[in-house]
Structure 1
């Protein structure tokens, strides 16, 4: 799904890609709905691992915590799958609920870091939502648009200077 999007959720295409028969598929799943449910659960587990890692930073000083959160979220590990799940969420209420739940958990963690830095709750919420929206925007930009925006920074895995600049921007009063 990460490579081909929603079109990969058709039984014939899925079986061909995995090199399995329809009978083998039905041995593991009652129907496509069962497969889709398992896919959402697997994605949620990946997201929960990321969210747990971020929530585990609670004891880190707020500015450093925000920098670490940004670095963790900028990892391209699951970007294609994340984009595909968000696209799927536009047409499936169950997937939309899973995405919304993961998003809320993330925004709460980022908002708490801004509160711990010294911003009041309203300011922290606005800054957390801004950071999150910027991250979603980057997630959905195509490779050529990203290259035009960030140039050679994309050649480096971390693009730390750009993230640091953005963090400093968000921390301004």
Structure 2
């Protein structure tokens, strides 16, 4: 069972921010699936009336579009951070990439978007594009670490697949034990 996200803080004067709504939407999808994402459930979770929802969003379609847009924004930010890591030694780069993938920031959103992608072709296309970019970044680190093309490709896909698995095995707050296991896995993948 997943732990619910804590109630959001208001942005002042008792008002919720758009981000409060977005983060709680991801949490509902991650915990209970896309079918559970309803205005009533969101309002109950946040302790507010439907009027608050409609203050921020025209309807559920606009709300879902905001969820997808925020995920895309985060993925763009992730790509920029990946580019900034290019000068790090390959082992350190891969470790940071894995840690970010299972961070509290990503855990709920990644689970939610992967769940959503099962029933929405546009979201699935976005997830696949983000996945390809991440695999390419892992592959580049492995090539920089001296692996040949074939080994880098095989290992990049294995590391990526394990990373997605780590998301599902971890909770919303990463533990030191999980981090140690990820590092041990990375050591195994970097052996020649």
TM range (shorter): 0.7 to 0.9
Give the corresponding residue for 2:182.
163
Give TM-score, length-normalised by structure 2. Answer: 0.72
Does structure 1 residue 85 correspond to structure 2 residue 105?
no
Q: 1:48 aligned to 2:72? A: no
Flag the 1:156–1:142 CA change in 2: closer, same or farther, 3 A. Answer: closer
Question: Quick one: distance in 1 between partners of 2:119 and 2:102?
Answer: 26
Alignment match, 2:22: none
Q: Does 1:68 align with 2:82?
A: no
Runs (5+) with no aligned partner, structure 2: 1-24
1:27 Cα deviation (Å)?
4.7
Q: Which runs of 5+ in 1 are unaligned?
A: 144-153
SS at match of 1:56: helix
Q: Which runs of 4+ in 1 moved over 6 A?
A: none
> What's 2:14 paired with?
none
Whether contact under 8 Å (1:74, 1:158) holds in the other structure is no
**SS of corresponding position for 1:3:** helix
* Contact preservation (8 Å) 1:114, 1:128: yes
TM-score w.r.t. the length of structure 1 is 0.79
Counterpart check, 1:3 vs 2:16: no
1:105 is displaced (CA, Å) by 1.1
Counterpart of 1:151?
A: none
Task: Point out the more displaced range, 3-12 or 92-101.
Answer: 3-12
User: Relative to structure 1, is the Cα distance of residues 27 and 55 closer, same or farther in structure 2, using a 3 angstrom cutoff?
Assistant: same
1:119 paired with 2:147, answer yes
Q: How many residues align?
A: 162
Check whether the contact 2:117–2:123 (CA below 8 A) recurs between aligned residues: yes
Cα drift, residue 100 of structure 1 = 1.2
